[in-house]
Structure 1
Amino acid sequence: MHPDTITRRFNRMVDLADVPRIRLHDVRHTYATLALDNGEDLKVVSDRLGHANVTVTAQIYTHRSVGKDRQSAERIAGQFFGKDWAMRA
């Protein structure tokens, strides 16, 4: 099958689904980002993407996601001040 045929079919499905249009290649990045942001194991994501090792996945697909740094800081602060510390502040 010609690559342009696949792209046209993908774009048609995206239009029918009434979701924002992205490039077919971006689906891979979107999957990896959403999976990792939702706590999926890096090794699982790496395997699903077909990477030889998790280092490749980490270098390409992991980045600072909005809000993740705050969640991490709050979890660590909870270790120091107790889990309900944020409610007292």
Structure 2
Amino acid sequence: MEIMGHSQIAVTMNIYAHVIPAMQQEAASRMDDALGGPGSDELGERDAD
């Protein structure tokens, strides 16, 4: 909000709320890769399946 210069958080959320789910999915995928979660091989890369 402050960085974008919006006077209210509602303005920022109305503009950027659609981005949050994609960011969460990307973060979860990266954590799976880093921790060797399901679908990861020994090098931390996802299977092509």
Please state which band the TM-score falls in when normalised by the shorter chain: 0.3 to 0.5
Larger Rg: 1
**Greater helix percent: which structure?**
1
TM-score by length of 2: 0.39
